[in-house]
Amino acid sequence: KQTLLPLLRQETSSFIFPCNPIVQRPELQHMVLELLRCIPLLLFLLFVCGLDHFIFSILSIIQHHSFIEYSYQTSHHLSVNVMGTSLMAELLRTTIGALNTSFDTEVETSNLACLPQPTGMTRQQYLNTCLPLGALALLCLAQVYPFRLRRVIAAFYFPKREKTRVLFLYNKLLRQRKNFLYLQRGRVARQARQPPGLGTLLLQWCRRRWPWLRRCLRRSCTLCGTPETPGHQPCPSPDCEALYCGSCW
């Protein structure tokens, strides 16, 4: 009777084995899509950090090269001298003498209060800004392992549905394997009808001429391409040079 075990090489790559710590092919495709969704966020973060550094550089240049300091000094002295000893002279000295003034003014000012005072971000602040995106990328890499529990949880709560799913998968694999063998037979038949190339003839001649070269010039399985091992089976037809691994044979 036809059975499903052991799985063929092509069938193994389409399944997810929960106990395997390596990220497998179906999970890898989903993980790559999730990582691609993080690229717009990464580009936006790089744009914002670059814009922040650019604005800080512009404001820093303005602060260092636009500083202007003003210094203003002035002196004012007014003195009225009235000569004489008459009554009128005394009266003028009393009234006009009050106008005598003397003062010095010194003013120093600058535009420091009008200049920008930029403060650049530190490395720690940049790191704290990038940490959420890094955590998101790590979650995209690690989410494949919690996702493996979905089938277990669904099987626990819906055992009948799980049995139906397993039966459907079993019949699906049987149909796929039957179609696979049919297609591979046709491919091998077409390949056998084609004349061998010059490289193939040279390789066969070298293998027959020097048997010790077989370790270096190893052939592969005609169906799955697995490198030659002692368990491979050659085709019993004398004119056929095809080689098959144990599962394909």
pLDDT digits (tens, 9 = 90+) for 185-218: 887 777 777 766 666 666 666 666 666 555 556 6
Residue 214 maps to a domain:
yes
Q: How many domains does the chain have?
A: 1
Residue 218 maps to a domain:
yes
Residue 168 maps to a domain:
no
The pTM is what?
0.59
Residue 68 maps to a domain:
no
pLDDT in tens, 94-124: 777 777 778 888 888 888 888 888 888 888 9
Identity (one letter) of the amino acid at 185?
Answer: R
Residue 224 maps to a domain:
yes
* Amino acid 1: pLDDT: 46
| Residues spanned by the domain of 215 | 208-248
* Residues 226 and 220 sit within 8 Å (Cβ to Cβ): yes
Bridge-partner residues for 106, per DSSP? 73
Residue 78 maps to a domain:
no
For residue 53, the surrounding DSSP H or E stretch is helix 25-65
Residue 243 maps to a domain:
yes
* Amino acid 45: pLDDT: 93
pLDDT under 70: residue ranges of the chain: 1-4, 195-218, 241
State the Cα–Cα distance between residues 87 and 44, nearest whole angstrom. 92
Residue 40 maps to a domain:
no
Of 68, 69, 66, 70, nearest to 116 by C-alpha is 66
State the Cα–Cα distance between residues 224 and 184, nearest whole angstrom. 10
